[in-house]
Structure formats: structure tokens, C-alpha cells
Copies of this chain bind each other. A is one copy, B any other.
Amino acid sequence: MKPLGPIPSGYAAIDGELAVSGHKASTLVAQAGGTPLFVYSRDLLTQRVVALRTAMPKRLAIHYAVKANPFGPLLEHMAGLVDGFDIASGGELAILRSVGIDPARVSFAGPGKRDVELEAAIVAGVTLNLESEGEAARALAIASRLGVRPKLAIRVNPDFDLKGSGMKMGGGAKPFGIDEARVPALARHLIAEGADWRGFHIFAGSQALSADAIVETQAQTLALAARLAEASGAALPKCNLGGGIGIPYFPGDEPVDIAKVGAALADRFADLPDVLKDTRFVIELGRYLVGEAGIYLAQIVDRKESHGETYLVTDGGLHHQLAASGNFGTVVRRNYPSAIATRFGAAVEEEASIVGCLCTPLDRLADKGGFPRAAVGDLVAIFCAGAYGASASPAMFLGQGPAREILV
């Protein structure tokens, strides 16, 4: 039997069934019209942001990175919780606008911004995190043509990375941001050109579970911001410190000690150099805010044995849960937390693999896990499905189409 990842806190059983925000899984499926279904919990989203605010210094603004989950009702809920939004495309800007989020609260990072995206962002008053001198020149030219003063920040490619992070975004050659050494010259140029100077975006990595590593990276980030601001010859209006706080997915993973991260950041904020005294600091989080607040429900359509192994074949699969299948940025496949939702909390009775309906051996959601004995019609739940699930999976693969999504 292979271990399963840890089920996040906040999920309980009602009448032997997994419940989200007080609603049983089978009720939610009936309400949504069927499976496969992503369910996101308002309560868990709120609790997470409140806990983070409690742990962090008051001075730190919290931004939500839309790329983690762009579901409209979830964005509307987050709008009442966070201080701003970070986007990675013109498409994400359009989604935010469709749910009435003020573009003045939005910043836009991403290495391949097209002219049409730059123009839409500049017109709307979005802050651009510039990724290269070439992009800066295009943005200035577009703003000049439009007669608009653009809100411009520089995305810095830091020389350090976030240790133990699942995705390294710094520390050497990268397609993201501008190498440290070239940042001051560009900042001076932007200010000289009359841009509304918005400061730096410094993102060293994501999905780290070590508080010590995050504390160290934040210290390096603040020191770098101070050095670059001094060299730029201007006070720093804003500094996006990146994100990096991960969530536990796999056996043995432990949640980040955010109290420790917050305390260390408060110490740093109490002792800032003059050039950062009036800077507005931001932490940008996607996965950490929404990942554990979502589950993916699929129904068992077949139960079969092959050479002594049991397969629970579901109507879901990697077309909605690519990362859980181990096929998205993963070298060694490990099990996400999962359960039989309609027998939640029941004792383990057998070893079984939960697979999807796709005709490919890649489509495996849980490999040889321990579960109560499940039958056709039972629901399975994959946890940690709130981030990089629905929108980060190939929904049209094998003619399947997208899953349903609800926020409760």
C-alpha cells in the first residue's frame, strides 16, 4: 500500500460523507448537476486569508495570483478578502473585469505580453511588471501613443532562489524579469520618461514548505530591493516580495509555520533602511490561498480487478487534475490526498488505485492507496484541488470537456 498525502484541515464527515462548508458531497453533486465537480469552500478561503493576516505584519498587503484559480465566483469572494490581484495575461484581466474587480487593484507580470495586452492593461490602469527592456520600450511607446501615463514596475530576476521551492523563479539565467545589474538603469529611464513609477516585483520561487527558507528569501528580497532602490536614485513606492508559501500535497509534507514567517517579517519591517521607509510591501499568493479550499469529486463508474490489483475507474481524470496525476512538473509520481467521499472516515479495507476515464496509463489519480471498499456509484474526492486544477488541465483531451465548478 502506498501512502496518500495529508487531507487538509477543515473537512469533516456528515452521515459518513465528506462535507464542504456543511454540505454533503452527494448533495453538492446533485445541486451542481453531476460529476466531475470542483467544489470550493467560501469558509475555508476566508479562514485562510484571516489566518494569514493575523500572522503577518499589518503593513503587508496580500495579493491573490489569479493564475491559481480564475473561477469567477471565487474571484468575487476573494475581492472582499485580499488587497489586490496579480494577473499573467490579458485573458485574466478580462476575467477580473467581468466580475467587476477594479483594474487599479491589479498588477500584470508575464514574459510574453503582446502589444494588445499591454495596451488593454495601460488603458485600464493596471500596473505592469516589466520583464525586459524591450517590453519597457513597447509599453512606453503604447502609452505615449494613447496619451496615458503608464503605471510601471520592474520585475527583477534575483540572483538568489527560494531554497526547497517547487518552482525556482530566480538564481541564474531566467526568462522572467530583468537581471539585477540592469535594473537601476531601467528604473531611472522609466522615471525620466514620466511613467508612474510603481517599484519592484521580486519573485524567487513558489511552493516552499520551510519557514526558514521563506524567511531567508524575504530578507534577501528586502536587501535587494533596498540596494536597487538606492542605485535607482528614487524612493520605492511599492515592492512585491513574491509568494513562495506552499501547501502540503504529499505524505510527510507539513504546513508552513506562517507565524514564524510573519514574526521575522515584522522584525525586518521594524528596521528598514530609509529608502524603504514609505514602501508599500505586498505578498503575492495563489496556491496558498485557494489550494486547500477546493476538492475534486468524481464518480466511480467501474470497479475492476486485473492480476490481483483493484481499480476504481472514475468519470474524472487528468483532463481536470493533471498535477494530481503526476504529469505536470513532477519527476516522481506521489499520491495527492484522496478519499472515498461517500465513505469518509471509514476504516481502510483494501488497496486500490483510483484512475480516470481516459484511455491512457497516465490517467491515475491515486496509486495503490488504502481505502474503505468502494462500489460503482460512490464518489471519490481528490483534495488540494483548489489551485492549478480546472484551468491547468487539458479539459478537451479525449473529447471530455471541462468539469463543473461551484463555490459553497
In the complex, chain A residues 175-200 whose Cβ is within 8 Å of any chain B Cβ: 175-176, 179
* Distance between A207 CB and nearest chain B CB, rounded to angstroms: 11
Query: Which residues of the partner chain B approach A305 to less than 8 Å between Cβ atoms?
Result: 179
A342-380 CB contact bits vs B (8 Å, 1 = yes)?
000000000001011111111010000000000010000
User: What B residues does A240 contact at CB under 8 A?
Assistant: none
Q: How many copies does the complex hold?
A: 2
Q: Contacting A327 at CB < 8 Å: which of B169, B327, B401?
A: B327
Establish whether residues B67 and A398, one from each chain, have CB atoms under 8 Å apart when the complex forms.
Answer: yes
Which residue of B174, B301, B314, B315 contacts A361 across the interface (Cβ within 8 Å)?
Answer: B174
* Complex CA distance for A93 and B400, rounded to whole angstroms: 11
Residue of B nearest to A133 (CB): B304
Q: Which residues of chain B are near A315, meaning CB under 8 Å?
A: 112, 114
Is A15 positioned at the interface, with any CB of B under 8 Å from its CB?
no
Among A67, A303, A394, A395, find the residue whose CB has the most chain B CB atoms closer than 10 A: A394
Kindly identify which residue among B174, B313, B393 contacts A111, using a CB–CB cutoff of 8 Å: B313
Number of interface residues of A (CB under 8 A): 75
Q: A111 to chain B: which residues have CB within 8 Å? A: 302, 304, 311, 313, 355, 357-359
Complex CA gap A210/B131 in Å reads: 45
Interface centre among A94, A112, A169, A302 (most CB of B within 10 A): A112
Which listed residue, B94, B95, B173, B400, touches A91 by the CB 8 Å rule? B400
Q: Is A66 an interface residue (CB 8 A)?
A: yes
Partner of A132, one of B67, B157, B304, B395: B304
Let me know if B328 and A399 touch, CB within 8 A: no
Contact with B along A108-137 (1 / 0, CB 8 A): 011111100000000000000001111100
Q: Tell me, yes or no, whether A9 is within 8 Å of chain B by CB.
A: no
A-B CB contact pairs (8 Å), 14 listed:
A67-B399, A70-B399, A88-B358, A91-B401, A111-B304, A111-B355, A135-B302, A167-B362, A173-B307, A175-B313, A176-B361, A179-B306, A328-B328, A392-B397
Give 9 new A-B contacts, CB below 8 A, not counting A132-B304, A391-B399.
A88-B358, A91-B399, A111-B304, A112-B355, A112-B356, A167-B361, A175-B361, A391-B396, A392-B397
Which 5 A-B pairs have CB atoms at the shortest separation, nearest pair first?
Answer: A112-B357, A91-B399, A92-B399, A173-B309, A173-B307
